[in-house]
Amino acid sequence: MNSQIPTEAGPFAQASKVIIAMRAEVAKAVVGQEAVVEQVLCALLAGGHVLVEGVPGLGKTLLVRALARTISGRFGRIQFTPDLMPADVTGHTLYDPKSQAFTTRRGPVFCNLLLADEINRAPAKTQAALLEVMQEGQVTIEGEALPLEPPFMVLATQNPIEQEGTYALPEAQLDRFLLKVKIDYPSGGEEAALVRKVTDGKVGDRLDVEQVAALVKPATVVSLQTVVASIRVDDQVLDYALRLARATRQWAGVAAGAGPRGGISLVRAARAAAALAGRDFVTPDDIKRMALPALRHRVLPAPELELEGRDADAVLQDILEKTQAPRR
Q: Which of 187, 216, 245 is where one domain is finished?
A: 216
Flag whether 222 is in a domain: no
Flag whether 286 is in a domain: yes
Residues 155 and 245 in one domain: no
Quick: pLDDT tens for 245-281: 999 998 888 888 898 999 999 999 999 999 999 999 9
Cα 118-165-56 angle, rounded to 5 deg:
40
Residues 65 and 101 in one domain: yes
CB 249 within 8 A of CB 263: no
Residues 67 and 163 in one domain: yes
Residues 195 and 235 in one domain: no
* Residues 144-156 as b or e (16 or more Cβ within 10 Å = b): eeeebeebbbbbb
Query: 10 Å Cβ neighbour count for 173?
Result: 21
Quick: pLDDT tens for 44-87: 999 999 999 877 766 788 888 889 889 998 989 999 988 999 88
CB 280 within 8 A of CB 231: yes
Pairing of strands 50-53, 179-182: parallel
Query: For residue 182, which of 307, 36, 60, 282 has the smallest C-alpha distance?
Result: 36
Residues 203 and 242 in one domain: no
Expressed as residue numbers, the domain containing 280 is 231-328
Whichever domain contains 328, its CATH number is 1.10.8.80
Task: Report residue 281: phi and psi, to 5°.
Answer: -150, 150
Query: For residue 138, which of 180, 170, 106, 97 has the smallest C-alpha distance?
Result: 106
Task: Report residue 51: phi and psi, to 5°.
Answer: -110, 120
CB 297 within 8 A of CB 180: yes
Average pLDDT in the chain: 85
Residues 309 and 197 in one domain: no
- Of 66 and 184, the structure prediction assigns the larger pLDDT to 66
Residues 154 and 177 in one domain: yes
How far apart are the C-alpha atoms of 85 and 141, rounded to whole Å?
Answer: 14
Query: For residue 155, which of 19, 60, 89, 81 has the smallest C-alpha distance?
Result: 60
